[in-house]
Structures are given as C-alpha cells and as structure tokens.
Amino acid sequence: MLAKGLKKGDYIGVIAPSDPIEEKNMEDIDKSVKLMENAGYHVVFGKNVKSNKTGYGATAKEKADDIYQMFKDDKVKAIFCAKGGYNSNSVFDKLDYELIKNNPKIICGFSDSTSILNIIYEKTGLITFHGPTFKSLVSWDTLYAFESFIERMEKHNLSLAKEDDEFITINEGVAEGVLIGGNLNLFTNLIDGKYKVNTENKILFLEDLGVESPPGMISNFFYRLKQNNVFDKINGIWLGNYEHESGVTIEQILLDVLEGKVNFPIIKSNNFGHTDRKVVIPIGTKAKIDTSKKVKIMLQENCVL
C-alpha cells in the first residue's frame, strides 16, 4: 500500500514515539522546522511530543494518541518521528491499525523507529520509510538525509545511493525481495512473539551504533537471527553503518556467525544508519541486489503515489 508523495504546501506532522523532545533538542528541531518551511512545507507537532509523564517520556497512550491524530488529520501528508530512543514498541498494543490502513501516509524515522516502521508495514501493508528523524535533518554535517527525503517523496526518485556512495560485496550474487529491517538491535525483537514480522523471501537491511552495541553484542543479535532461522528464509542482506573503536566490522561478525554457510548475496554501504549519510529506504518495497553493479541494490517499484 502506497501513500501519496509530497507537494509544496503540504503539512508535515512530527510525533515522538521514542524519547521526548527536550529543551536541549530545540535548536536542532527549530532548524529542521525552518529547513522544511524553506522547502515549501508546513510543520505541525503532536501535542505530547514533549511529555515526560513517566519520567522517561510520554505514556504509551499519549504516544499512540499523537500517532492516531496525525493519521486521522487529512491535512497532514507525512509524519516524522522526532528523534530516537528506546521504547517505540510501547505503542504496539494501542495503535489502530485499521485507521492507519485506511489513511495511508508517509512515516519516516530510524534507530528506535525501526520497531514502529516494521510493525506498521507488517500489520497494514503500508510502505514506511527508514530515513532521518526530524531532529536529524540538521543534526549532522550534511544535508544528505534531507535531500534524500525530498528526492524520494517529492520527486519520486528510486535510487538507493548518490554517485559518491560506495558499496562493497561481502558475498556475491543476485537476489530480489521486499526490503525490511533497520537497526539490528531493535529488529531482533521482531523475529518472534506476538509482534513477529515475516522474513520469508525478504532483503534484510541492518545497521547499528558502535558506542551502544560492541562487537560481542552484535554477535549476540546475529545469533538470535540465526537461531530463529531468519538466515534460512531471507534472500539477501544489505549492511549499513557500524563503527566500533576495536575496528571489528559488522560484516566480519556476520560471517563469523554464518560460519561460511551463505547462500545469498551480502553487500555493505555506509549510507544508512547512525551516520550523516541517510538514504531513505522504503520498508515493504521490492528491491534487487546485484553484486556485479556499482550501485549494488536498486528499487524495483515505486514507493509513493
């Protein structure tokens, strides 16, 4: 299911399903507002984006209410998650998935947003977008993420890389499948239980933050995927940014876990994740990996109307 693309004059909604917007964030938030307004858009905020009723953020109901209002509001055409955090999964039981399904809109974020983006796609079929949070539009050293968002949503660009993005091949091959994934830590919580996502015939894209997830923890996450047969189901893997002071790479850890038993292509790039270069990746859209190409992954279909 596709949401409509954006045009000048549209309204962009901002929600905080993870951590709340705090005073220390306001300089970046205000800059992001000006950036979107200068691009021809209006910005509106959910009423609970600054709530700290629990002492560590808004309540699950407050978060769900903001999501509900943004999807219900006909004026709002796209929704940004404000920033990262730890518990966007708190809203799972409180979301009205039928309302979302009947009011398809662009929703974008990364990091902790991984949870809500994949579950909305899984429960409704709506294409969601792994890309910048609202705060991160300006909180890095480049406008790469902002430009990628505009190109994807306004200009319907289907590229998953810019000319100077570099890809490397970890395991050769060609594969097609639907894109799902995001932050590795968060995604491992979505492979079993009540809110399990379907990994059959998917292309899995994964990244993680080295300062929070050292190599041993990354190994733990990959073993969880292995022990739940995820690697037996997927068609390919696209690894994103991961940097740790040890110098151990995410691809090295993955290959250690797989023990040489790899029957699908694996590629790596540094243009998504906890980095300044954040290409907007549509969750739920068909893509193709071809390791013989310079840009080794490409979308196979439109992701907005």
Phi/psi at 12 (5° precision): -110, 125
CA atoms of 63 and 88, how far apart (whole Å): 8
CA distances from 38 to 32, 69, 93, 100 (A): 10, 25, 37, 29
Model pLDDT for residues 275-286, shown as the tens digit of each residue: 999 999 999 999
CA atoms of 238 and 245, how far apart (whole Å): 22
Model pLDDT for residues 219-254, shown as the tens digit of each residue: 999 999 999 999 999 999 999 999 999 999 999 999
Model pLDDT for residues 136-152, shown as the tens digit of each residue: 999 888 999 999 999 99
CA atoms of 79 and 88, how far apart (whole Å): 15
Superfamily of domain 11-153: Murein tetrapeptidase LD-carboxypeptidase, N-terminal domain (3.40.50.10740)
Model pLDDT for residues 16-73, shown as the tens digit of each residue: 999 999 999 999 999 999 999 999 999 999 999 999 999 999 999 999 999 999 999 9
Model pLDDT for residues 152-197, shown as the tens digit of each residue: 999 999 999 999 999 999 999 999 999 999 999 999 999 999 999 9
The per-residue pLDDT for 140 is 82
Q: Let me know if 121 is exposed, middle or buried by CB neighbors in 10 A (0-12, 13-18, 19+).
A: buried
The per-residue pLDDT for 139 is 80
| Domain 167-299, second-level architecture | 3-Layer(bba) Sandwich (3.50)
The per-residue pLDDT for 163 is 93
* Residue 196 and residue 170 in contact, taking contact as beta carbons nearer than 8 Å: no
Q: Where are the domains of the chain?
A: 11-153, 167-299
